[in-house]
Homo-oligomer: A and B are copies of this chain.
């Protein structure tokens, strides 16, 4: 097991990464507040991991809420179910919410923890690659609104993130690939050597070689922890993590939430961002080609679904990165070199969308 730390002063917390962690008695004890724990999970993960996690909490009063799997459930209605469960169990301000599952469960449980009694303790046990390398670290929580992804939410840091890499062995292929999209993102925005390593290790990653996956997770979490420590509430540098996301969120929205996995939409969104960077003369065609090739080898989509360009543009403007009507984009100057900008001609973005959707 390795232990990384997200450095946030008195709200600093550890990320524990290793094999066989779920079920180890005592491992979570230092991070649980009070005697009451609410486990939030979904109907795919709970049958496998709920009992071993409960064994880790033997001395506590444990209640459970299991919601149906899928992004379509990341709604205010499901949030209210979790809050109702906390009230019905008469949990006080000193309880702990534990999310056991993928990104949806992490965002949902974390948001419930953020607003129940104006904030209670929160633990993350991410069981998908996407949640391990991205959403479980950094304190972003929330639910979707019919008008846009994650439009309702809060910053609420966990007290610990425990990643058992064994959970990836049972993950569906499609979800493994979706998680790798976010791994590729870290290479693209800040680490060209890691991107090159991923090009070399694509086969081993898809074959779920434990050591290779472990390194990919560790390097991703190090990158994310570094950025979050520098800019917790996304006033500046943290926005780099949104590379591919303004395009990707528009894909998810236009396709209907739940049709595309988040990581799939981010993969196609990163290609759109790379092509637009190329159009502006900032990125070389050879680099765009490397990005497309790696994502394709990881079995990820590199094209958005067919959408009318104005509809896609409108969906982009509902993203949270829109400030005073301008769409802030994360674009590339090279592999490993990204920047946040509104400094591009608006018509170029529309032209790019028209060209993309004519293909």
- Tell me the A residues contacting B by CB distance below 8 Å: 34-35, 76, 80, 83-84, 87-88, 90, 92-94, 114-119, 140, 142, 145-148, 150-155, 233, 317-318, 320-325
User: Closest approach, in angstroms, between the C-beta of A115 and any C-beta of chain B?
Assistant: 5
The contact sample of 29 A-B pairs, CB cut-off 8 A, is: A35-B324, A76-B80, A76-B83, A83-B145, A83-B151, A87-B146, A87-B148, A87-B318, A90-B317, A90-B318, A92-B320, A92-B324, A92-B325, A93-B320, A93-B321, A93-B322, A93-B323, A94-B324, A115-B115, A115-B142, A115-B154, A116-B151, A116-B152, A117-B151, A118-B140, A118-B142, A118-B150, A118-B320, A119-B154
In the complex, what residues of B have CB within 8 A of residue A154's CB?
A: 114-115, 118-119, 154
Chain B residue at minimal CB-CB distance from A321: B93
Please report the C-alpha to C-alpha distance between residue A146 and residue B87 in the assembled complex, in whole angstroms.
9
Give chain B residues whose Cβ lies under 8 Å from the Cβ of A145: 83-84, 87
**Contacting pair A151 B94 (CB below 8 A):** no
Q: In chain B, what residue has the closest Cβ to A94?
A: B323
Highest count of chain B CB atoms <10 Å: which of A35, A115, A147, A154: A115
Q: Which residues of B contact A325 (CB under 8 A)?
A: 92
A121 to B187, CA, bound (A): 34
Known: A35-B324, A324-B35. A155 touches B94 (CB 8 A): no
| Cβ A118 vs Cβ B153 within 8 A | yes
Query: In whole angstroms, how far apart are the Cα atoms of A94 and B235 in the complex?
Result: 12
Q: In the assembled complex, which residues on chain B have CB atoms less than 8 Å from the CB atom of A147? A: 84, 87-88
Q: Chain B: which residue is nearest A76 at the CB level?
A: B80
Besides the known contacts A87-B145, A115-B154, 16 further A-B residue pairs in the complex with CB atoms under 8 A apart: A34-B323, A34-B324, A84-B147, A87-B146, A90-B317, A92-B323, A93-B320, A93-B322, A115-B142, A115-B152, A117-B151, A118-B142, A118-B153, A118-B155, A119-B155, A154-B154
Which B residue's beta carbon lies closest to that of A79? B76
Q: Give the Cβ gap from A257 to chain B, nearest Cβ, in Å.
A: 14
Give A76 to B87 CA distance when docked, in angstroms: 14
A21→B49 CA distance, assembly (Å): 59
- Of all A-B residue pairs in the complex, the 3 with the closest CB atoms, nearest first, are A87-B147, A92-B322, A118-B153
B-side contacts of A324, CB under 8 Å: 34-35, 92, 94
A84-B76 Cα distance, complex, nearest whole Å: 11
Q: A119 to B76, alpha carbons, bound, how many Å?
A: 16
Cα–Cα, bound, A88→B147 (Å): 8
Inter-chain contacts of A153 with B (CB < 8 A): 115, 117-118
C-alpha spacing A83/B76, complex, angstroms: 11
- What chain B residues lie within 8 Å of A317 (beta carbons)? 90
